[in-house]
Amino acid sequence: MVTAALPQPDLVTIYEMPEQVSLLQDAWRRIRRNRLALFGAAIILLLLVVALVATFWTPYPVWLQAVGPTYQPPTLKHPLGLDQAGRDILSRIMGGASITVQVGVGSAIIVSLIGIPLGLVAGFYRGTVDTVISFFINIWYGIPDLLVALILVFVLSDALHLIPRGVFVIILAFSLTRWMDVARLVRGQALALREREFVEAARMSGARDFRILFSHIFPNALGPIIVQATFAIPAAVLFEAFLSFLGLGLPSPMPSWGAMANDGYHGLDFAPHIALAPTIALSITLMAFNWLGDGLRDAFDPRMRR
Amino acid sequence: MTRGTVSYIGQRLVLIAVTTVLVSSIVFLLLHQIPGNAFLNETRSTPQSLAANLHHYGLDLPLPQQYFNWFTNVLFHGDLGESLKNRGVYITPLLIREASVSATVGFYALLITIGLGLLLGVIAALRQNTWVDYIASSASVAGYSIPSFVLAIFGLLIFGHYLYIWTQGTFYYVPGWGKLEQIPVPALALGLPYASYVARLTRASMLETIRTDYVRTAWAKGLKARVVVLRHALRNALIPVVTILGPLITGIITGSVVIENIFGIPGLGKEFITSILARDYNIVIGVFTFYAALVGLANLAVDVIYPVLDPRIRY
């Protein structure tokens, strides 16, 4: 018995198969053309390197006082000068970079960890769960959230002594008052995506809710989530600087940029270098994250491109 | 003003009251968890005087009772209580006086934010891809990342130090508050970051609007440029800008906390931080209640402006 092999059409030559590109590849291709975003990313990379180096080595210990005359302006030995206690400002800026990275990245992670599941559940199940979560989100829009976070830091560490004042309590307070931002976004995405065909298909093939939520809806909402998380970083960094500037953030010897700005602000008329170094570092960092965030938003959402 | 609008505003007012009470209740309960209260650190306190103090402020009552008293006083008498550190100083009149100071600075900051933001945004959009646009756009990209307290420090350095001969330091250190020259620098520091944000948003939405058919029609009818830009284009471009006014006002309030401390402005923000550091919890709760109500009312005002700009929106 001879069966003539049916001529198999060569699919690839007949249909021009579009190249398969993942979300991240696609975003990378778009962001590569955005010079401002790349510049921001380069600054962030530098910040990360400095932060990493500072955890192991700084020219002088960040807390070491009187390494030279107090209020000394920049010299070759101390490129950014010395502060009111004779501490090397370059070392403290480096240490501050490390704190900034910890606060920013930590907050972005915790905000996402709280906001994403709550948003997914609210958007997917709707009903009572959604009502409760949306209630919190709506209330949050009517309050000065940073001031609640400020009170939270104060109560948790200064008044009740539950958590020592430090990076962790700041991340916690920020996340507890800011998760609504992420949750609102994810909820909207989940509300839209749950009606789509691929979710229906997944349900038809017997997937459990948990699987639908995390393997089907979550990956499709990933782009906006990454953008939102990126914007949470500068917000958290600013919150830490704001608290430390007011003397309610990190305790004294820790080299927070906000606290350093406060040190310098008292000697502004005769030693402006003390205040200038941390404020410029802070502004550049915030700018870099905002540029990258804007670039990512344009890259992940082509409709929003201008 | 239709009946729908009135009932909508009524509903919103109720919601604002509920939000304010809820949020300040959380702050109240948080701060009342602190054992021994504000008097714990007083050096010259005897057990008798401590007990007398606690009794005077009703702090010896069980917490639910304290909460009930505070709640009814706030809701029915508008009474936020008495300062824990300065006995005899009642908080409501104190805060109203300070709020008027904060409101002055905040008002000018808002004026700068909206005025400068709209102006730069519109000019940048009309002169798209010229050097005017590039300068305005890059300034706004840089501007909204620089926090207001950094701008305040730069402002102090420039106007208070380098230009001292010109300003004579009049704007930041004076025994009293209320001179006009004290306002510009803090208001600029407070308003500029948000002005940049408004400028970006205005530019984007203006660019969209000036390419629409009705704007082209307006040009084709031979209307004057001023009429086309202001009445046809800007009015519609304003709609997305108005949506961020709420968060903007929240931001200005938060920013004023640090700005007032830098410039020594005797407003709500300075009181807030001073009383936190002095552990005068009654004032902290009071200021917070004030802030929550203020943000709620500001958001309501924004929602009321909305249908004026866009008649399609009705309540």
Residue B114 pLDDT exceeds 60: yes
Contact A71, A274 (CB under 8 A): yes
When scoring B149, B168, B271, B273 by the number of chain A Cβ atoms within 10 A, the one with the most, hence best to mutate, is: B149
The pLDDT of residue A105: 95
CB within 8 Å: A160 and B149: no
Q: Which residues from chain B sit within 8 angstroms of residue A276, using beta carbons?
A: 157
pLDDT in tens, B264-296: 888 899 999 998 888 888 898 889 888 888 888
Contact B20, B47 (CB under 8 A): no
Give the residue-averaged pLDDT of B178-198: 86
DSSP-derived letter for residue B10 is H
| Proportion of chain B above pLDDT 70, given as a percent | 91
Contact A193, A203 (CB under 8 A): no
CB within 8 Å: A151 and B19: no
The pLDDT of residue A306: 40
CB within 8 Å: A265 and B146: no
Q: How far apart are CA B244 and CA B144, in angstroms?
A: 14
CA distance A37 to chain B (A): 12
pLDDT in tens, A111-126: 999 999 999 999 999 8
CA distance B287 to chain A (A): 11
Of A85-89, B9-13, B151-155, the least confident:
B9-13
Contact A261, B153 (CB under 8 A): yes
To which H or E segment does residue B286 belong?
A: helix B281-309
Q: How confident is the model at residue B67 (pLDDT cuts 50, 70, 90)?
A: confident
Hey, which of A230-234, A263-267, B4-8 has the most confident mean pLDDT? A230-234
If you measure CA to CA, which chain A residue comes closest to B292? A143
pLDDT in tens, B94-107: 898 888 888 889 99
CA distance A209 to chain B (A): 34
CB nearest to A155's CB, from B31, B262, B277: B31
Helices (H) and strands (E) in chain A, counts: 13, 0
CB within 8 Å: A159 and B250: no
CB within 8 Å: A142 and B292: yes
Q: Which residues from chain B sit within 8 angstroms of residue A146, using beta carbons?
A: 254
Residue A220 burial by Cβ neighbours in a 10 Å radius (0-12, 13-18, 19+): middle
Contact A57, A98 (CB under 8 A): no
Q: How far apart are CA A253 and CA A64, in angstroms?
A: 9
CB within 8 Å: A246 and B284: no
If you measure CA to CA, which chain B residue comes closest to A159? B34
The ipTM, to two decimals, is 0.86
CB within 8 Å: B157 and A234: no
